[in-house]
A and B are shown apart, each in its own frame.
Chain A
């Protein structure tokens, strides 16, 4: 209850700390070179009568990695799924507020969710290879199934995407095998490759490494570092070290509310909210 009031009273600017400098990967950057790519305004998702997330307003910066952290069931996934209209498929979910992509609300009447999802890709927590397709067909599904037939192009895309997802070397000799013949971790990297193959501008990742071993996790994290030159990434993670390693910005959710968002370094070293500090230091969650 206290938390709710706390968040409500704050204006957007005070929650989000953009003024301070932060350093990442040796690259020094300041607020001035940050362009807002996406923005949510009073984003609320209701599941019937229960609240998924409430009044979340945050900016997503271009070519930055934004991490969403918080205990299970706090609305991170709900928030993420609202960013590419995945809730459209859930009958009881009702989305209000705005999600702006390049200043255009993706929930406007004239917006085609299919176009939105081509721009805003998504990787799920569990690997989801298409069971009837080969590894190759899985990767190029997003292109092939919309009518792109040029073989040389598809092969290039397939190799590039698999390489990006750190899977190419392991599967290059058996691209025609079934996607589900791979191990769990490989399947997840296949799912990532498939998402990358359509070259999304924004990539939503819902705990992409939760089913991977440390080595594959490292590779995915390296991938995130490389990708952010071209892609804006929003990642949910339960691994605090991972959030600290990969992200530029961190948003902390708690029971459907956004508690705090700011530079990852600041969130981890000097959080403004007591709740954030308690969570990060392992006192709950």
Chain B
């Protein structure tokens, strides 16, 4: 009886440790969200979503000011980056998972891991040399390329593990009915791994959406809306993380609270993307 009681106590102790760890993981997240909302909510009003930022005097004198150009810029740059990164990242992930015997595989694996570990600001520098210098101007496109470099290695790695989680027998079943290898991957393995693939893309997207460093000398930033939509691609563009940074280091208290508000919008943007992607990829069949 004594040993049974001892085991019960030990079980309870272990359970408590797990619960405490869980709370410790969630606590910083909750503190950050609460802090951001408390500080930023006052700066959020209708004009915040309809007006451009302009000069600091606008905020100081209480004239209408907002971050519409930043929000739109973020959407354009982030989704442009996603459009560049998803095909490349998924393709690389397929190579890593489905063609382990391919001559390029080991090289790709090393290079992908290196790219993943590379500081984001270096990726910005690379995009600067690659895009900004030849184009002669900072641009949303250059920012998207820099962010794509952030996304690609993450998407490649998560794609690999999502595909690897699908049993090998499924591929053999496809091959056995005379399907070519690429068709087996595309039509049987990838649909089966869909949830994992989408999660991977989201992780890459969320990570890049929060990056300011690679955008400093690529999309550069802008206080005003461009004249037309093409301006978001070919001209300097504002993005939320970078604007958050420049608002926060500015000497104006009005801009400080706008910075907190920018943080709320950035959080919401990522959350909306997550929920949206989850809804879009709900399973067609409920597996029992």
Residues of chain A touching chain B, judged by Cβ–Cβ distance below 8 Å, are 84, 86, 89, 91, 114-115, 117-119, 121-124, 126, 128, 130-134, 141-142, 145-146, 177-178, 180-181, 191, 194-195, 197-198
**Contact B172 A86, beta carbon cutoff 8 Å:** yes
Structural contact, B176 and A89, CB atoms closer than 8 A: no
Contact of B179 among A114, A133, A181, A195 (CB under 8 A): A114
Q: A131-B285, A133-B191 are in contact. List 13 more A-B contacts (CB 8 A).
A: A114-B178, A114-B181, A118-B177, A121-B178, A126-B169, A130-B174, A130-B191, A141-B174, A141-B177, A142-B178, A178-B286, A195-B177, A198-B178
Q: Which of A91, A117, A132 contacts B175 (CB 8 A)?
A: A117
Q: In the bound complex, do residue A114 and residue B180 qualify as a contact, i.e. CB atoms below 8 Å apart?
A: yes
Tell me which of B172, B179, B192, B285 contacts A124 (CB under 8 A): B172
Would you call B64 an interface residue if the criterion is a C-beta within 8 Å of the partner chain's C-beta atoms?
A: no
List A contacts of B177 (CB < 8 A).
117-118, 121, 141-142, 194-195, 197-198
Q: Is the CB of A89 within 8 A of B179?
A: no
Interface string of B129-173 (1 = CB under 8 A from A): 000000000000000000000000000000000000000111111
Interface: B287 (CB within 8 A)? yes
Q: Are A128 and B285 in contact (CB under 8 A)?
A: no
15 contacts between A and B (CB under 8 A): A89-B175, A91-B100, A91-B101, A114-B178, A122-B172, A128-B169, A128-B170, A128-B173, A131-B287, A132-B285, A133-B191, A177-B285, A178-B284, A194-B177, A198-B177
Contacting residue for B284 out of A128, A132, A146, CB 8 A:
A132
Q: Is B246 an interface residue (CB 8 A)?
A: no
Would you call A178 and B287 a contact (CB within 8 A)? yes
Q: Which residue of B lies closest to A126 (CB)?
A: B169
User: Of A128, A134, A197, which contacts B172 at CB under 8 A?
Assistant: A128
Verify if B109 is at the interface (C-beta below 8 Å from A): no
Query: Which residue of chain A has the shortest Cβ distance to B166 in the bound complex?
Result: A131
Q: Which of B215-253 contact A (CB under 8 A)?
A: none
A126–B170 CA distance with the chains assembled, in angstroms: 10
A132 in contact with B172 (CB, 8 Å):
no
Decide if B188 is an interface residue (CB 8 Å cutoff). yes
Q: Which residue of A lies closest to B101 (CB)?
A: A91
Most buried by A among B100, B179, B192, B286: B179
B61-89 interface code vs A (CB 8 A; 1 in, 0 out): 00000000000000000000000000000
Q: Are B187 and A145 touching (Cβ within 8 A)?
A: yes
Q: Complex: how many Å from CA A122 to CA B175? A: 9
Q: Which residue of B lies closest to A117 (CB)?
A: B178
Tell me the complex Cα distance, A127–B174, Å: 12
Q: CA of A132 to CA of B179 in the docked complex: distance in angstroms?
A: 17
Q: Give complex CA distance A114, B284 in Å.
A: 29
B187 smallest CB distance to A (angstroms): 5
Which A residues touch B181, using CB under 8 A?
A: 114
> Known: A114-B179, A142-B178. Contact between A89 and B288, CB under 8 A?
no
Q: Does B39 touch A at the CB level, under 8 Å?
A: no
How long is the Cα–Cα vector from A122 to B168 in the complex, in angstroms?
15
Q: Are B178 and A132 in contact (CB under 8 A)?
A: no
Chain A proximity mask over B262-288: 1 for CB below 8 Å, otherwise 0: 000000000000000000000011111
Residue ID in chain A nearest B288 by CB atoms: A181
CA distance A277 to B177 in the complex (A): 37
Instruction: Give chain B residues whose Cβ lies under 8 Å from the Cβ of A89.
Output: 168, 171-172, 175
Q: With a CB–CB cut-off of 8 A, which chain B residues contact A122?
A: 172, 176
User: Does B183 lie at the interface of the complex (its beta carbon under 8 Å from any beta carbon of A)?
Assistant: yes
Most chain A CB neighbours (cut-off 10 Å) among B168, B173, B177, B187: B177
In the bound assembly, the distance between CA atoms of A123 and B177 in angstroms comes to 9
**Distance (Å) between the CB of B181 and the closest chain A CB?**
8
Cβ 8 A contact of A145, one of B100, B170, B179? B179
Question: Whole-angstrom distance between the alpha carbons of A248 and B173 in the complex?
Answer: 27
Q: Given the complex of chains A and B, what is the CA–CA distance between A80 and B47 in angstroms?
A: 71
B183 adjacent to A145 (CB under 8 Å): yes
A192 smallest CB distance to B (angstroms): 11
A140 CB to closest chain B CB, in angstroms? 10
Write the nearest CB–CB distance from B176 to chain A, whole angstroms.
Answer: 4
Bound-state CA distance A198–B71 (Å) is 53
